[in-house]
Each structure stands twice: as structure tokens, then as C-alpha cells.
Amino acid sequence: MRSEIKFIADGMLGSLARWLRIIGFDTEYFSGRDKYFLSYRARNQGRIVLTRDRNFVSQNRPISIFIESENLRLQLREVKKKSNLKFDREKFFTLCSLCNLPLEKKKLEDVLIYVPEYVGKTQKNFSQCKRCSRIYWQGTHYQRMLEFINSVEADEE
């Protein structure tokens, strides 16, 4: 299944990595300079390298995608097109956007003391990252993010 595709984004592409996670794709972020390590890690873990380094791409063609644009929305479209990705609504917001780990569903009573009062009053569905403990819910921020993802898909062709 193509939906199990995994990525590793290099140092220039931190926002892209974060958004791929939000959309539900397992994406590591590698900010180091050692391109040999980047290549090794990608091969070792079966990840596709996303990079703005043309030399790297020409030396690692089968496992890398050159990202041309500096604009996040266009970058997402590039990844989508070049790796033939299908966005799956069910997977949106299932990974921590910082840690790249699956979120755990939480009940209101589990998170009540950690979230602002108005959030506790208006939201029902919560999830939390095991590593960084960040709590996610579907507030106005979520709606804006969803609109952004939709706009990435709508721009096509």
C-alpha cells in the first residue's frame, strides 16, 4: 500500500515535515549535515528523502525526491505528485506534528486539568502524544489546518 510510504526530510524542509505528519505520513526530520548518514538512514528504514539538494538527488535517485518550491503549499503538492500520494482523511491528525509518533485517544476527564477551560467545555475528542505530552483537539486551529490541506488537494491540475 502506498499509504505506508515513509519520508525523511532534510534540514531545509522542517515545515514540510511537520505538515506531512499532520496529514498522517510518517516523516522524520534530519537537520544534520552528514548526507551519507541521511542516505544510510533512508535506505535502512525504507524512507524517501525529501530534499532541496540537487546533488543529493542525482546521487540517490531511486530513494529521493527533489523539492523545487520554497512555498509550503507547493511543496506539499510536489510530494503528493512525485510520490503519487493519496491523502486519507482518516489519517489526518493521527501523528504528533513534533515527534512523528502516533497519538493516543484521550477522554475529556483525562485531559481536563491540562487544557484551557473553554476547551474543556466545547471539545469532546482529544488525543495526546506519549513522548511530548502535547494534547490535541479539534478547535478553530484544526479547522484552519483542514482548510489548508483541502487547498493543497484542490490546487491540483
Q: Which residues bind Zn ion (CB under 5 A)?
A: 96, 98-99, 129, 131-132
Among residues 98, 145, 106, which one has the least CA distance to residue 126? 106
- Smallest distance, Å, CB 43 to Zn ion? 26
**Distance of alpha carbon 137 from alpha carbon 144, whole angstroms:** 13
Among residues 93, 107, 100, 90, which one has the least CA distance to residue 130? 100
- Smallest distance, Å, CB 130 to Zn ion? 8
Q: Which is nearer to Zn ion, 18 or 77 (CB)?
A: 18
Q: Which is nearer to Zn ion, 61 or 131 (CB)?
A: 131
Q: Which is nearer to Zn ion, 98 or 112 (CB)?
A: 98
Which cell numbers hold the place of 30? Answer: 534530519
For the sheet containing 135-137, what is the strand order? 104-106, 126-128, 135-137
Which cell numbers hold the place of 126? Answer: 482529544
- Smallest distance, Å, CB 9 to Zn ion? 17
- Smallest distance, Å, CB 127 to Zn ion? 11
Q: Which is nearer to Zn ion, 112 or 132 (CB)?
A: 132
**Distance of alpha carbon 110 from alpha carbon 51, whole angstroms:** 40
**Distance of alpha carbon 157 from alpha carbon 132, whole angstroms:** 38
